[in-house]
Amino acid sequence: MSSETRISTSRARRFVSRLGILVPCICLPLRAERLNIVTTTSDLASIAAAVAGDAAVVTSIATGVQDPHFLQAKPSYIMKARNADLWIRIGMELEIGWEQPIIDGARNPGIRVGTSGHLDASGNVIRLEVPTQRVTREMGDVHPSGNPHYWLDPLNGRIMAQNVCERLCKLMPGQASVFRDNLRAFVGALDTRMFGPVLVEKLGGDRAWALLLNGQLDRQFTEAGSAGSAGGWYGAMRAHRGKGIATYHRSWNYLTSRFGLSIAAELEPKPGIPPSATHLAGVVKEVKNGGVKVILIEPFYSRKSADFVASRTGATAVVAANSVGGSPEASDYLSLIDLIVTRLSEAL
């Protein structure tokens, strides 16, 4: 090569390398082969990642550290939604304060409500507190379709995973067998953590759940003489069935209902209204009378009122995340339930 050609080549190379810095900024985002899933909460992201595996990139708008009722439709959220192929929400009006401006602002017609790129994970979950009469705002921050914190019931975790799998199979039919395998693995892991490995091996996950729902799981144990093999979350909480706990917000009902606990008192006088001195005095009485030992509270709430009640009653304020990422130990959905069950059973 002559020196002239060499110079022009290097100049060209420099030009191209400078252009290379610009090109990624101005190119339309290429449709990646991996599905781009954006979820509203981190629990959905954990479940979606487990089912989708390597076929998708999953990000979440809420990170578990904030109260998911109140988020701003920030520019960075809008940009996340812009490139999403599938948007998954908890639904039941949990995200009603911020979902629509993000979807509208993102100008992504593929993820609008009702399209195949929009999944409401609450479709067929087991719902609690569905109103049977007219709901008004007099009742506080009440949701007209029921209590939206349904992901805290492991049974609903199973159903959410199935819903995600169905939708993924519809969007990427070629990978359907992979998704179903991942679903089976996730459900198996969940069942094992719920009932312990011995019970799951003996009965199978589906059967164990069915017996639990029909109130016949315990009978199985005593008949088979295998009372000691109850493990997992179910085993850990068996001893505490029937006990009452106090909570800050009406966010734990699904968990308590699944494990046979009851809610003895709520620190919020009505959902969304902060605790008042008069109300807390009443709570102290209820906690004392009910022999309640635990006040369960999320990390993003102030501990002042919980500590107040605890100091006057001998109950313990137990801080546990109600969403993946809310505490460092709650790194995925199964660890989240692990954390809550562990903290509860230690304190009860």
Q: Which residues of 287-310 are buried (b: 16+ CB within 10 A; e: fewer)?
A: beebebbbbbbbeebeeebbebbb
In the complex with another protein, the residue whose CB is nearer, 112 or 312, is: 112
**27 forms bridges with which residues in the sheet?**
none
Distance CA 293, CA 219 (A): 28
Under the binding rule (CB under 8 A), the answer on residue 137 touching another protein is yes
- Shortest reach from residue 180's CB to another protein, in Å: 17
CA dihedral 266, 271, 277, 278 (to 10 degrees): -80
Binding another protein (rule: CB under 8 A), the pick from 8, 116, 124, 226 is 124
Binding another protein (rule: CB under 8 A), the pick from 2, 3, 17, 133 is 133
Site for another protein in 224-253 (CB under 8 A): none
In the complex with another protein, the residue whose CB is nearer, 144 or 188, is: 144
DSSP per residue, 2-49: -HHHHHHHHHHHHHHHHHHHHHHHHSPPP--SSEEEEESSHHHHHHHH
Binding residue count for another protein, defined by CB under 8 A: 61
Binding another protein (rule: CB under 8 A), the pick from 57, 59, 120, 145 is 145
- Cβ proximity of 40 and 60 under 8 Å: yes
**296 forms bridges with which residues in the sheet?**
247, 318
Distance CA 186, CA 158 (A): 8
- Shortest reach from residue 218's CB to another protein, in Å: 12
Binding another protein (rule: CB under 8 A), the pick from 57, 218, 262, 300 is 300
> Of 102-110, 258-266, 288-296, 328-336, which segment contacts another protein by CB under 8 A?
102-110
Tell me phi and psi for residue 85, to 5 degrees: -95, -30
Instruction: Give the interface with another protein as residue ranges (CB under 8 A).
Output: 25-29, 63, 65-67, 70-76, 78-79, 82, 96-101, 104-107, 109, 112, 124, 126-128, 130-133, 137, 140-141, 144-146, 159, 203, 206-207, 209-211, 213-214, 216, 272-274, 300-302
